[in-house]
Structure 1
Amino acid sequence: MTTPVIGLSTYRERAAWGVWNQTADVLPSQYAVAVEATGGVPVLLPPTAGVGAADAVVARIDGLVISGGADVDPARYDAEAHARTAGWRPDRDAWELALLAAADAVGLPVLGVCRGMQVMAVHAGGALDQHLPDLVDHERHSPGGDEFGAIEVATTAGSRIAALVGDRLAVNCHHHQAVRTHPGFGATAHAADGTLEAMEAPGDRFCVGVQWHPETAADVGLLAGLVRAAAAYAECR
């Protein structure tokens, strides 16, 4: 089977390494390591504004991960910013939305991770709840700083998610926002407090979003599923 190339969207942030302190295109290495461990070849996709850039990228990759990161600009779903919504990156929003549009046009396998699931929902015409603690009265989904929240999720029987990870699993979360509406996607996993933790498109295409971070866990069933779908996609090109 063809070894698939998996594109990973990246941050563009101020970063320090060696003698340098400057703007850099970065992504936690766990993403690339997990893709490689499950049989894929990772390629980083920094925000790019050129006309046709997303189409050009999607024509050359076999699968796409929209990775975690900052809040989505509330203007993208016609909302005023909550007091706790901050730090959105217009360049990244535009790039990832363009990548999703290009991926939809050709049926490319897609996995959205944390923010990535939220971008997928917004791209589909959905909206976000901008500060989850307002709804669930706790902060276990995002304890603060660089700490992940430990959450148990229950998956929907018969879903792609359930086939990949089972009916229940403990996951690492780091999100203070959540998907409120998700046109075209089915809700396929929830936390005990009712928070939507996964969604997927119907049909044969692998198009899945999760609020947790599968790249941080020993069980990389979701990424393995994406890589298998990407390999099949590559064979059918």
Structure 2
Amino acid sequence: MKPYIGISCGAFRDRDWCPPANFLRKNYTDAIITAGGLPLIIPVLEDIEVLRALYDRMDGILISGGGDIDPRFYNEPPQAGLGPTDPMRDEIELPLARWAIEEGKPLLGICRGSQVINVAMGGTLYQDIPSQIHTQLVHDSSFTRQDWTYMAHELQLEPESKLAQLFGTNCIMTNSLHHQSLKDLAPGLRAVGWAPDGVVEAIEGAGEGFLVGVQCHPEALQGAADTRWQALFRDFVESCAVGAPAL
């Protein structure tokens, strides 16, 4: 049976007088479908019991990209350059990440999702790369060029990492649409990928099971831009399928 993949989403507010809408870009669900999974969007909600019931129905969790995490969740005051936050989304994604990590359910974090994994496990973030890290590398160049498939820089991978084995290389090009990054890495995680300036851009769990976070947006690359990124989604979905019930 194809596994059910729960994908977190954000709240979209198009008008002040309208109720917020659940928002997720289509290429996330496209990537999961291409990899053989059944995507189900986890809505923004306030009831933790409903969230847990949804989580229990899923065979794997994908935490998607989005805005900044409220720094109170990693015990820091707001710094200059912090962007808009959505504490309600934080309150959904942090428990999802913790449950999956504690129970060994496959977990994939993309961009913000990678940061959520780190914060959920006790790590911290650079709230704004330009103001907190001395670097000449522009980490949001795919965003400023308005091109999700723009290959902004190389991602150097640990040779023994899962990602290097999946891609068959220690170096792969990535897009880049972020202004925050991982700072103090949480216990139980290991850095396995770096931007040319040393910023950590890929993490994996130190134990068994599928626990991967990437700072780039592979869901936008795995189509025509670079099909090698499909391997990440295939491995994730196959890991989820191991726990899926048989018909």
Deviations 1:44-102, CA, capped at 9 Å, x for gaps:
01122213233212210111110000000011111111221121001000000111122
Match of 2:115 among 115, 118, 122: 118
Q: AA paired with 1:182? A: L
Q: AA paired with 2:162? A: R
Range with bigger deviation, 106-115 or 148-157? 148-157
Q: AA paired with 1:92? A: R
Shift of 1:22: 5.0
Range with bigger deviation, 208-217 or 145-154? 145-154
What percentage of aligned pairs have identical amino acids? 34
Question: Which position in structure 2 is the counterpart of 1:38?
Answer: 35
Question: Which position in structure 2 is the counterpart of 1:73?
Answer: 70
Alignment TM-score, normalising by the size of structure 2: 0.88
Report the 3-state secondary structure (helix = DSSP H, G, I; strand = E; otherwise coil) of the residue aligned with 1:173. Answer: coil
Question: Which position in structure 2 is the counterpart of 1:64?
Answer: 61
Report the 3-state secondary structure (helix = DSSP H, G, I; strand = E; otherwise coil) of the residue aligned with 1:234. Answer: coil
Shift of 1:147: 4.3
Question: Which position in structure 2 is the counterpart of 1:11?
Answer: 10
Report the 3-state secondary structure (helix = DSSP H, G, I; strand = E; otherwise coil) of the residue aligned with 2:79. Answer: coil
Shift of 1:21: 6.2
In structure 1, distance between residues paired with 2:134 and 2:5: 35
Q: AA paired with 2:198? A: G
Shift of 1:196: 0.3
Which residues of 2 match residues 168-187 of structure 1 at below 5 A? 168-183=171-186, 184-187=188-191
Q: AA paired with 2:209? A: R
Tell whether the 8 Å contact from 1:35 to 1:227 is kept in structure 2 after alignment: yes
In structure 1, distance between residues paired with 2:116 and 2:154: 23
Structure 1 or 2: more strand by fraction: 1
Question: Which position in structure 1 is the counterpart of 2:124?
Answer: 127
Report the 3-state secondary structure (helix = DSSP H, G, I; strand = E; otherwise coil) of the residue aligned with 2:44. Answer: coil
Q: Which runs of 5+ in 1 are unaligned?
A: none
Tell me whether 1:99 sits opposite 2:96 in the alignment: yes
Match of 2:234 among 221, 224, 227: 224
Question: Which position in structure 1 is the counterpart of 2:193?
Answer: 189
Tell me whether 1:138 sits opposite 2:136 in the alignment: yes
In structure 1, distance between residues paired with 2:11 and 2:48: 19
Aligned residues: 232
Range with bigger deviation, 173-182 or 99-108? 99-108
Q: CA distance change for structure 1 residues 147 and 139 in 2, over 3 Å: closer, same or farther?
A: farther
Tell whether the 8 Å contact from 1:153 to 1:170 is kept in structure 2 after alignment: yes
Question: Which position in structure 2 is the counterpart of 1:157?
Answer: 159
Report the 3-state secondary structure (helix = DSSP H, G, I; strand = E; otherwise coil) of the residue aligned with 1:215. Answer: helix
Shift of 1:139: 5.2
Q: AA paired with 1:76? A: F
Q: Which runs of 5+ in 2 are unaligned?
A: none
Range with bigger deviation, 178-187 or 98-107? 98-107
Shift of 1:5: 0.7
Tell me whether 1:199 sits opposite 2:203 in the alignment: yes
In structure 1, distance between residues paired with 2:63 and 2:194: 20
In structure 1, distance between residues paired with 2:46 and 2:95: 9
In structure 2, distance between residues paired with 1:233 and 1:159: 23
Alignment TM-score, normalising by the size of structure 1: 0.91
